[in-house]
Amino acid sequence: MAVLGRGEGHGGISILHALGAGYGSTVSITLSTRVQLRDSPVKTQPDDPHGLIPSTMETWESAGLSLPESEEFHWAVRSDIPMGRGVKSSAALAVACIRALSDATGTELANHQIVDLASAAQLACGCSLTGSVDDSWSAVEAGWKVVDPSVPAAEGVLMQGEIEGAGDWTILIIDRGPRELEIDPERFQMASGQFQQAISAVEREQIFTAMIQNGRAVATATGDTLGRKICNDLGIIGSRVSTITGSGPAIVSILPSSLDASIRRIKQTLEPRGWNVIETKFLTSEA
């Protein structure tokens, strides 16, 4: 058994939801998906309900790129990103697979090319309505970008930066279970006024404020009154940012790492609900 190639992609949390805002923005976190492309079967088959892995391979070939020289292809996947919660697991998987194919074939790709391939694969298999260009950027690079998803990745970055003092913040991802609702683009457009408040905050580079406003708009678009209430409650007990990421249902709480008591209080408050709380950090370019 030989490992043909390896790749990694990172998760992220939303700043702007592309369906509602027209522009997408995601910030990268340290949770990641790691893959190995092998020439023989693996013990555990990847959990890939949308068929994203074969879609990524088809997208790779459609771009005129060669597959590794092997009679068989098998994928081993390890991930600490919860799937279907809005924490960008699909983008991380697509990027990791593309990097593994690059590694296996000695193909050098610029980051914007990886993003284009990952976004095309997600559209092709139907796991994204927008292509999740911003999510793919967060899977590839640290920091945040505001992107126009209607143009190629190399042309679509409108703003970018990193969270100030990124290492000083703790991120709690509250996993409320798998997404149950069907995403309705019209409902997101109906909440455009709320999304505009998030856009205005990003234009002032008030990223945390944008996250909060975006989460409120997502709650409106998805009818997630419980999520909105939980975000408000977390703010009262010490969270600097409480927001819904992606289309939900995961809730993100961001607070200074020095506030150990507040972190414990949030975990204790959520414990009776039986939700898993994942602790992570912002990914930085020095990582």
Q: What is the DSSP string of 55-114?
A: HHHHHHHHTTPPPPS-S--EEEEEE-SPTTSSS-HHHHHHHHHHHHHHHHHT----HHHH
Residue 121: what pLDDT? 97
Q: Is residue 287 over pLDDT 60?
A: no
Residue 129: what pLDDT? 82
Q: What is the pLDDT of residue 225?
A: 94
9: phi then psi, degrees, rounded to nearest 5: -140, 150
Please tell me the distance from the alpha carbon of residue 82 to that of residue 89, in angstroms, as a whole number. Answer: 7
CA of 145: how far to CAs of 27, 129, 248, in Å?
7, 19, 20
Domain boundaries defined on the chain? 3-161, 166-280
Reported as a single tens digit per residue, the pLDDT across 162-196 is 999 999 999 999 999 888 777 888 899 889 999 99
CATH number of 166-280: 3.10.580.10, 3.65.10.10, 2.130.10.10, 3.30.70.890? Answer: 3.30.70.890
On the question of a common fold for 3-161 and 166-280, the answer reads no
Local structure of 41: helix, strand or coil? coil
Helix, strand or coil, per DSSP, at residue 248: coil
Fold for 3-161, please state it: Ribosomal Protein S5; domain 2 (3.30.230)
Strands 251-256 and 241-244, bridge-based pairing: antiparallel
> How far, in Å, CA of 136 to CA of 116, rounded?
8
Listed in sequence order, the residues at least 6 apart from 58 whose beta carbon sits closer than 8 Å to its beta carbon are: 121, 124
Q: Which residues of 62-76 are buried (b: 16+ CB within 10 A; e: fewer)?
A: eeebeebeeeebbbb
* Cα 84 from Cα 160, distance rounded (Å): 26
In tens, the pLDDT along 199-214 reads 999 999 999 999 999 9
